């Protein structure tokens, strides 16, 4: 009944109450805004570093790259900031000279200044190259050429060869040439002179085929080759244009002159030839004498004799004049040898001298024709003094043996055979008696090498009899084995090619080669590796050792390696690594480049706020983590610690436990609630809601009382 009678009022009250509660909840959800804190004021500035560029050409823009300010705050602390272009004033790129640039820190009156200089390019200054004279065909040589641009302030700066162009060089023709250098709109020049190279000498590069002549032969220069040399170092074959002259009309060693003329300059050289006189080389019979048989007492007759003469120049003649003869005599009969002489050569031929039909023997005295011996007869005879025929012969009786000699050794005994002695007749020397001497037997000598042992093959020695040299015994010898020298480096290994080393056996000189692998940038050991930065390589036979020793460390050792920085951050050791690179001699490898040690270790990013790598001296080491591989960048060997920064635990701040006076703010504490100007709306809404709730309850109570009275 009451709802029907006052439904409009109750509906309005309900809507107002709901809106009030909604508005209160919305305002209650808002955080109480914090009281803003004024930032510190900058009280002074100072230019900590000048910009990189302080020298400008006319028309260039100001560049503040590298400029940094040092800021001083009202609290006395200092800070730094990079200078922005819009903080500057005073730059005019169209005006030459020194300009003062003012830097004003925004929002303050703090200023500082620095100077820049604006110049224009006025001219080029050229230092000529070392070579200003050329020969025809020479290539350009710019060694020593230096080009500088001269600015309006009188200063200059050398230009790189790529900054300017050089034109006008040519050595195709002789004369003076102007070389022009261009840079932007500026030009400069220098001059060169081109000459025709002069002839300096000629040389015989190949002597003629014919160097030996006979008197009277003409010169033959076939095969001659002549080279001309010029002052620019070039050469030319001038063989077709030379003249050859020389005197070969007499025997001996002669000079032949070779001459070449060019541009009114004559150069000559010589070669030597040998001139030989014409001489008889050989003679042979062309025809023999007509008369070859003579009687005793006749004279020699050379009629019909002629000889063929061969000369050293190859000429052949038949002559019969100028011949001499020796050796003929006809006082005795028999075959006679007659010698023919011609120009130092001789020939022999035979003739016979016979007895005449009226020959009568002229008997000589008896002469012994065979001597008698102790046992045999001898003989004696007479001969014809003309024809040498034996006229009368008679025997000579044997002499008989005379005195016997002392025993004489006829055969010496040796190691295996008997010897003997004999006595002889003192007249006929025949053997009278023989005595046997027994064999001596072998006398063994020291062993001698038959096959000398080598490093790889065995040898053989034998012993021989000192007397007869016969073999007595044989002994086998073992091979020596190689005795190699230390390895000697032949070629250094590089990053591109293998090296080579060798060693030599001191006994047999056998050479063994060993290839040294080319140098590498990365060494690997188990699950670790190390990479050398830059363009450097590890030396040959370098070794890398890497190990994770975390588990082997004691608690005390881990505590000794734990790092706490100056801000109080605590770090927890995750891994401890020992890394080392050594040379082939076992010494520490000292590198001028960075070493990058790598280990398979994924960083637990969710458990630690940050990570750090440091050595045993707590020096921080660079690192990076990529693809689950931790890489430590350092300069040398050592022990390295990977640590994670411990995340601090969050703690509640008990505001009522802090015994400090509250700061002066606009908030007002009411019944434990801090009321700020932003709370006023919420309070008003709460009061409205409270009044509406009381009105609603009053309506309900009034309605209940009426129902009860009825």
Q: Per-residue pLDDT tens for 602-638?
A: 677 777 878 889 888 888 888 888 767 888 888 788 8
The answer to whether 190 touches 125, Cβ cutoff 8 Å, is: no
Half-sphere exposure of 101 (CA within 13 A, CB side): 27
Tokens of residue 251, six digits: 């025997």
Residues 6+ apart with CB under 8 A from 31: none
Which of 4-18, 330-344, 511-525 ranks highest by mean pLDDT?
Answer: 330-344
Per-residue pLDDT, averaged over 47-69, amounts to 92
Q: Per-residue pLDDT tens for 698-710? A: 777 776 666 666 5
pLDDT given for residue 181 in this prediction: 94
- Which of 172 and 666 is assigned the larger pLDDT? 172
Strand extents, DSSP E, 636-683: 638-645, 668-670, 673-675
Cα distances from 486 to residues 505, 506, 539, 613, in angstroms, run: 10, 11, 19, 44
pLDDT bin (cut points 50, 70, 90) of residue 24 is low
User: What pLDDT is attached to residue 22?
Assistant: 61
Token reading at 241 = 């244009």
What are the tens digits of pLDDT across the range 451-483? Answer: 888 898 988 998 989 888 888 888 888 988 899
Whether pLDDT at 582 is above 70: yes
The angle subtended at Cα 431 by Cα 429 and Cα 437, nearest 5°, is 130
Regarding predicted confidence, which is higher, 608 or 274?
A: 274
**What order do you get walking across the sheet with 390-396 strand by strand?**
367-370, 378-383, 390-396
Residue 576 scores a pLDDT above 50: yes
- Mean of pLDDT over the chain: 83
Instruction: Inform me whether the pLDDT recorded for 285 exceeds 50.
Output: yes
Interval 307-322 mean pLDDT: 91
What's residue 338's pLDDT? Answer: 94
Of residues 600 and 501, more confidently modeled: 501
> Does the domain formed by 42-119 have CATH 3.30.70.270?
no
Q: 3-class DSSP state for residue 690? A: helix
Q: Which long-range contacts (CB under 8 A, 24 or more apart) does 430-437 make?
A: 430/374, 430/375, 430/401, 432/401, 432/404, 432/405, 433/404, 433/407, 434/410, 435/407, 437/409, 437/411, 437/412, 437/413
Q: Does domain 280-354 have CATH number 2.60.40.3630?
A: yes
CATH class of 199-276: mainly beta
pLDDT score for 150: 94
Of the two residues 11 and 365, the one the predictor is more confident about is: 365
- DSSP β-bridge partners for residue 319: 307
Give, to the nearest 10 degrees, the angle between helix 7-29 and helix 680-709. 150
Confidence of residue 17 (pLDDT cuts 50, 70, 90): low
Is pLDDT above 70 for 13? Answer: no
- At 673 the pLDDT is 38
pLDDT of residue 658: 37
CB atoms within 10 A of CB 130: 10
By mean pLDDT, which of 203-207, 378-382, 554-558 is the weakest?
A: 554-558
Express each pLDDT in 114-158 by its tens digit.
Answer: 999 999 999 999 999 999 999 988 899 989 999 999 998 889 999
pLDDT score for 518: 81
pLDDT at 186: 92
Q: For residue 270, name the pLDDT band (cuts at 50, 70, 90).
A: very high
What does CATH list as the number for 121-195?
Answer: 2.60.40.3630
Greatest CA separation for the chain: 230
Residue 326: pLDDT above 50?
yes
pLDDT at 187: 94
- Per-residue model confidence (pLDDT) at position 6: 55
What's the rounded mean pLDDT across residues 209-215?
A: 90
């Amino acid at each position: 009944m009451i709802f029907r009678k006052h439904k409009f009022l109750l509906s309005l009250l309900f809507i107002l109450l709901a809106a009030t509660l909604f508005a209160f909840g919305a305002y209650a959800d808002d955080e109480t805004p914090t009281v803003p804190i004024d930032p510190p004021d900058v009280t002074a500035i100072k230019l900590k570093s000048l910009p990189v560029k302080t020298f400008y050409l006319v028309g260039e823009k100001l560049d503040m790259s590298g400029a940094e300010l040092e800021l001083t705050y009202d609290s006395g602390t200092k800070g730094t900031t990079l200078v922005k272009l819009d903080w500057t004033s005073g730059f005019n790129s169209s005006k030459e000279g020194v300009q003062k640039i003012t830097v004003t820190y925004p929002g303050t009156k703090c200023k500082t200044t620095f100077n820049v200089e604006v110049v224009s390019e006025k001219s080029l200054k050229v230092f000529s190259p070392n070579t200003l004279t050329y020969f025809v065909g020479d290539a350009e040589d710019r060694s020593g050429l230096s080009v500088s641009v001269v600015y309006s302030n009188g200063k200059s700066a050398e230009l790189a060869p790529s900054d300017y162009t050089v034109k006008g060089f040519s050595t195709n023709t002789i004369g003076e040439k102007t070389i022009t250098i261009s840079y932007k709109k500026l030009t400069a020049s220098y001059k060169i002179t081109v000459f025709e190279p002069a002839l300096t000498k000629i040389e015989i590069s190949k002597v003629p085929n014919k160097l030996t002549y006979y008197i009277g032969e003409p010169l033959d220069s076939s095969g001659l080759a002549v080279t001309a040399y010029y002052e620019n170092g070039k050469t030319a074959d001038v063989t077709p244009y030379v003249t050859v002259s020389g005197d070969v009309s007499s025997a001996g060693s002669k000079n032949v002159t070779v001459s070449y003329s060019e541009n009114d300059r004559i150069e000559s050289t010589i070669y030597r030839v040998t001139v030989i006189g014409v001489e008889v080389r050989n003679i042979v019979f062309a025809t023999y004498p007509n008369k070859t048989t003579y009687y005793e007492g006749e004279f020699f007759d050379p009629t019909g004799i002629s000889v063929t003469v061969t000369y050293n120049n190859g000429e052949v003649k038949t002559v019969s004049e100028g011949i001499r003869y020796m050796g003929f005599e006809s006082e005795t009969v028999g075959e006679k040898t007659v010698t023919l002489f011609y120009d130092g050569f001789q020939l022999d031929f035979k003739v016979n001298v016979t007895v005449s039909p009226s020959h009568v023997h002229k008997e000589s005295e008896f002469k012994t024709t065979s001597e008698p011996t102790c046992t045999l007869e001898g003989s004696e005879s007479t001969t014809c003094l003309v024809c040498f025929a034996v006229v009368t012969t008679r025997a000579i009786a044997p002499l008989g043996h005379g005195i016997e000699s002392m025993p004489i050794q006829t055969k010496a005994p040796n190691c295996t055979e008997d010897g003997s002695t004999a006595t002889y007749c003192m007249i006929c020397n025949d053997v009278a008696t023989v005595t046997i001497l027994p064999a001596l037997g072998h006398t063994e000598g020291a062993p001698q090498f038959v096959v000398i042992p080598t490093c790889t093959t065995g040898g053989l020695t034998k012993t021989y009899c000192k007397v007869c040299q016969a073999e007595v015994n044989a002994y086998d010898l073992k091979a020596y084995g190689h005795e190699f020298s230390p390895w000697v480096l032949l070629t250094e290994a590089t990053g591109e090619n293998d090296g080579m080393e060798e060693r030599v056996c001191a006994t047999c000189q056998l050479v063994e080669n060993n290839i040294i692998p080319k140098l590498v940038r990365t060494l690997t050991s188990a699950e670790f590796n190390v990479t050398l930065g830059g363009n450097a390589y590890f030396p040959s036979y370098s070794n890398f050792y890497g190990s994770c020793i975390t588990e082997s460390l004691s608690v005390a050792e881990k505590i000794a390696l734990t790092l706490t920085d100056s801000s109080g951050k605590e770090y927890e050791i995750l891994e401890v690594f020992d890394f080392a690179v050594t040379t082939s001699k076992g010494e520490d490898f000292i590198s001028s480049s960075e070493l990058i040690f790598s280990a398979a270790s994924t960083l637990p990013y969710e458990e630690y706020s940050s990570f750090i790598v440091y050595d045993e001296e707590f020096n921080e080491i660079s690192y990076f983590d990529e693809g689950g591989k931790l890489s430590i960048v350092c300069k040398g060997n050592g022990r390295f610690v990977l640590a994670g920064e411990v995340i601090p635990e969050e703690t509640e701040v008990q505001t009522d436990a802090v015994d400090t006076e509250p700061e002066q703010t606009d908030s007002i504490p009411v019944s434990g609630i801090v009321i700020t100007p932003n709370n006023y709306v919420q309070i008003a809404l709460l009061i409205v809601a409270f009044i509406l709730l009381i009105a609603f309850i009053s309506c309900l109570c009034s309605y209940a009382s009426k129902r009860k009275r009825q």
